[in-house]
């Protein structure tokens, strides 16, 4: 049955209300994105410094100290997968693509005879994993909009404890790397063991240039020795790496939500235009019908 003009007007009013909400959410996400980008920029020098110091200490130590957190397992029986996403939805594929990447990594590990142990940062990845019958060993929620370093420390403590206890033999993190407001790339990195982490293969980002514009060639001297310094640096390296991933994920979430809300606002505009056109056509049809009835009545009287 065709909709009345009143029904169409009500639909237009409803879509306009939704459009107002999505436009407001887009503006909020844009403001939060700017703050998230600032936090990433502020962390970069410290994160690069930790990476550089850990790499230099590992090179100076020659062989890594024989400690549980630094031991590389002869065989990998279980891999720990830390999925970092958000607590809320309405951000396009931001959350779902992390869960898909994590499940794909688990399937890949299982195909090679390796088990998977999940850790989840964010309510969405935790609930999605449970829906897929993958119960996370630990989940951390409530801070995806503005993570603090203390949150990264809690997550790092959980994954380090699982590694040191032998529950997992490798720890990987999967998160959305922030490129721009419209581009976020799913990134998978190895945190532990240190021998397999990307930090030992880094190209020297953050190194200080020498007087002639090259790199400083003088090796640093350590007091106490590089072994003890490395032992203290590795937990900090894990915490900073996770914190950097959390900030990247936060910026990516705000960028994804801003794009999603912009698309929703544009779609609402298109729907309003289509409904307005349909209402005008219905009004014209009603007027034409009334004119025909008047003409028919006049002819009947004549």
Evaluate whether residue 205 is within a structural domain: no
Whether residues 40 and 188 share a domain: the answer is yes
Which pTM does this prediction carry? 0.83
Same domain, 46 and 192: yes
Same domain, 160 and 231: yes
**Residue 118 is encoded by which pair of tokens?**
């999940």
Question: Which of 157, 153, 191 is CA-nearest to residue 175?
Answer: 191
In a domain, 190, yes or no: yes
CATH code (residue 44):
3.40.1380.10
Assess whether 294 and 246 both reside in one domain: no
- Report if residue 209 sits inside a domain: no
Domain assignment of residue 187, yes or no: yes
Q: Are residues 137 and 49 in the same domain?
A: yes
Number of other CB atoms surrounding residue 153 within 10 Å = 16
Tokens 């887009």 appear where?
A: 26
Backbone angles phi, psi at 176, to 5 degrees: -90, 115
Q: Is residue 215 part of a domain?
A: no
pLDDT at 302: 59
Whether 230 and 285 map to the same domain: the answer is: no
- In three-state secondary structure terms, 73 is coil
pLDDT at 219: 63
Residues 58 and 162 in one domain: yes
Q: Residue 214 domain-assigned?
A: no
Q: Is 210 a domain residue? A: no
Q: What is the mean pLDDT of residues 83-106?
A: 94
pLDDT digits 0-9 by tens, 97-121: 999 999 999 999 999 999 999 999 9
Instruction: Please tell me whether residues 251 and 267 are part of one structural domain.
Output: no
Range of the structural domain that residue 235 is part of? 33-200+223-259
Q: In angstroms, rounded to a whole number, what is the distance separating the alpha carbons of residues 70 and 77?
A: 17
Question: Quick check: is 216 in a domain?
Answer: no
Residues sharing a CB contact under 8 Å with residue 139, sequence separation 6 or more, in sequence order: 119, 120, 121, 123, 126
* Count of domains observed in the chain: 2
pLDDT of 68 above 90: no
Do 292 and 192 belong to one domain?
Answer: no
Three-state SS across 84-139? ECCCCCCCCCHHHHHHHHHHHHHHHHHHCCCEEEEEEECHHHHHHHHHCCCCCCEE
11: CATH: 1.10.287.80
For all residues of the chain together, what is the average pLDDT? 85
93 vs 281, residue with greater confidence: 93
Residues 161 and 91 in one domain: yes
Instruction: Clarify whether residues 79 and 150 are in a common domain.
Output: yes
Q: What is the mean pLDDT of residues 14-27?
A: 94
Q: Is the confidence at residue 223, as pLDDT, over 80?
A: no
Q: Let me know how long the chain is.
A: 302
- For the segment 23-34, the average pLDDT, to the nearest whole number, is 94
pLDDT digits (tens, 9 = 90+) for 196-220: 876 655 544 444 444 444 444 556 7
Is there a single domain that holds both residue 130 and residue 145?
A: yes
């Amino acid at each position: 049955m065709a909709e009345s003009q009143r029904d169409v007007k009500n639909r237009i009013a409803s879509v306009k209300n939704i459009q107002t909400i999505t436009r407001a959410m887009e503006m909020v996400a844009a403001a939060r994105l700017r703050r998230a980008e600032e936090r990433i920029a502020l962390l970069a020098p410290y994160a690069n410094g930790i990476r550089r110091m850990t790499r230099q200490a590992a090179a100076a130590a020659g062989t890594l100290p024989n400690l549980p957190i630094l031991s590389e397992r002869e065989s990998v029986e279980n891999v720990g997968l830390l999925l970092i996403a958000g607590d809320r939805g309405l951000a396009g594929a931001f959350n779902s693509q992390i869960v898909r990447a994590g499940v794909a990594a688990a399937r890949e590990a299982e195909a090679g005879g390796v088990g998977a142990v999940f850790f989840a940062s964010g309510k969405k990845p935790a609930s999605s994993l449970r829906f897929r019958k993958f119960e996370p060993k630990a989940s951390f929620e409530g801070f995806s909009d503005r993570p603090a370093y203390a949150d990264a420390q809690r997550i790092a403590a959980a994954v380090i404890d699982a590694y040191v206890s032998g529950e997992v033999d490798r720890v990987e993190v999967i998160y959305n790397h922030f490129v721009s407001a419209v581009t976020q790339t799913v990134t998978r990195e190895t945190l532990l063991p240190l021998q397999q982490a990307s930090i030992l293969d880094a190209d020297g980002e953050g190194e200080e240039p020498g007087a002639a514009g090259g790199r400083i060639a003088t090796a640093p001297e350590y007091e106490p020795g590089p072994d003890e310094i490395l032992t203290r640096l590795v937990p900090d390296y894990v915490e900073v790496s996770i914190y950097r991933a959390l900030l990247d994920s936060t910026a990516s979430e705000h960028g994804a939500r801003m794009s999603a809300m912009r698309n929703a606002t544009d779609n609402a505009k298109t729907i309003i235009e289509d409904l307005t056109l349909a209402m005008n056509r219905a009004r014209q049809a009603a007027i034409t019908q009334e004119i025909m009835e008047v003409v028919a009545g006049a002819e009947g009287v004549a």
